[in-house]
């Protein structure tokens, strides 16, 4: 027959009874309830909270990304407007500079023309003055010469004054 060493182990079923089975079942239920109450539910709540935080972080990231893209577009638009405005300011400055240059050139030409006209009129006045002075000197000289030659300056003076204007 079997020795006591052989009766130990799994073949020894004398301790398996309905009462021990019920007690073990109750202990397993208590362990499962404790695990459910203190481990599984808090862990599931933590996982739900973590998942909600991750969703919020993802939403915040997406919002920040869309805001960044919008700001980038606004920056590009602002840069384009500034570039356009800068180009228009440059064109306006060039146009203004050209018009100022043209105005200054026109004014300089006008002043030069006025100076030339003034110089011509001055020269003409001096020429007329010199011509008048020469005529006067010629008349005086002719009258003196006539007076010395003919001893009558009155007749010669009328004749000379009439003919001197034709010179």
Work out the number of other CB atoms within 10 angstroms of the CB of residue 139: 17
Q: Give the pLDDT band of residue 157 (cuts 50, 70, 90).
A: low
Its pTM stands at 0.42
Confidence at residue 152, expressed as pLDDT on a 0 to 100 scale: 65
Q: Are 143 and 153 in contact (CB under 8 A)?
A: yes
Q: What's the rounded Cα separation, in Å, for the pair 16 and 14?
A: 6
pLDDT tens sequence across 58-110:
999 999 999 999 999 999 999 999 999 999 999 999 999 999 999 999 999 99
pLDDT tens sequence across 12-45:
666 778 899 999 999 999 999 999 999 999 999 9
Confidence at residue 45, expressed as pLDDT on a 0 to 100 scale: 93
Domain extents for the chain?
26-164
* Residue 160, burial from CB neighbour count under 10 angstroms (0-12, 13-18, 19+): middle
């Amino acid at each position: 027959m079997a020795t006591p060493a052989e009766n130990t182990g799994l073949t020894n079923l004398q301790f398996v009874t309905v009462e021990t089975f019920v007690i073990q079942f109750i202990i397993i239920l208590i362990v499962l309830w404790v695990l459910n109450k203190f481990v599984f539910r808090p862990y599931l709540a933590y996982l739900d909270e973590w998942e909600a935080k991750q969703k919020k972080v993802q939403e915040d990231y997406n919002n920040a990304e869309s805001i960044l893209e919008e700001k980038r577009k606004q920056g590009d638009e602002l840069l384009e407007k500034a570039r356009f405005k800068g180009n228009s300011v440059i064109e306006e400055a060039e146009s203004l500079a050209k018009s100022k240059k043209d105005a200054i050139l026109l004014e300089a030409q006008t002043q030069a023309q006025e100076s030339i006209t003034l110089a011509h009129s001055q020269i003409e006045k001096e020429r007329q003055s010199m011509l008048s002075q020469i005529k006067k000197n010629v008349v005086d000289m002719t009258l003196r010469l006539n007076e010395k030659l003919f001893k009558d300056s009155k007749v010669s003076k009328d004749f000379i004054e009439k003919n001197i204007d034709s010179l």
